[in-house]
Amino acid sequence: MIKAKSVKCRALLAIIPLFVAVSLSFQNNAVLTRTFTQPVYDTDKFSINIPAGWGHHTQMLNGFKIFFMNAPPSDGFSPNLNILTESTQGLTNAQYIHISKEHMKQNNFVIDAEGEFQANGIKGVYFSSKFDYQGRKLSSKSYNFIKGGLAYVITGTCLPGQAGAFRPIFDKTVKSFKVK
């Protein structure tokens, strides 16, 4: 049986990127090429590089501490990455991933690709998807890593037309992810 907190968390994954985008002003219409410098977000559980020029902050949401990284607004939307860490509550990797995918489908995410992904020696899986939020089509890529009973869920969200420019940035950023 799945515990309520775990199910609630997956519901947050569908909504979190949107909180960030909606709260930002929409000014810049050009998708810019991003380069990496050394800004790093470092916690007792993980570290990750922050793309140059991106804002970042940590926020508590429904009892979860979530780290957000935001690109400058482009085409009325701020592409973003967020990181949520939660207990797998004793689920195996396969069970946790299955539940995550089912929850995405229940929230009208259309999964269009999935596969394996690796970051600094830790293997994970990703799902790319499209979904509608308040009449707006969005594209997301969720990277799921599980280690030591903790799930590290990193979700990148952008407009479908921005995916070609931002998914490589999402991939590069996630490849810098290190579990401690």
Give residue limits of the domains in the chain: 4-21+51-179
Lowest-pLDDT range of 27-36, 53-62, 77-86, 165-174? 27-36
For 139, residues 6+ apart whose C-beta sits below 8 A from its C-beta are 128, 129, 130, 157, 158, 159, 160, 162, 163
pLDDT digits (tens, 9 = 90+) for 6-37: 544 444 444 444 443 433 333 333 344 444 45
Angle of helix 93-106 relative to helix 4-23, nearest 10 degrees, comes to 50
CB 12 within 8 A of CB 143: no
Asked if residue 54 has pLDDT above 60, the reply is yes
- Domain at 4-21+51-179, CATH homologous superfamily: Mog1/PsbP, alpha/beta/alpha sandwich (3.40.1000.10)
Rounded to 5 degrees, φ, ψ at 7 are: -65, -40
| Cα–Cα distance list, 70 to 33, 53, 81 (Å) | 14, 9, 7
pLDDT digits (tens, 9 = 90+) for 30-39: 344 444 455 8
pLDDT digits (tens, 9 = 90+) for 71-122: 999 888 999 999 999 999 999 999 999 999 999 999 999 999 999 999 999 9
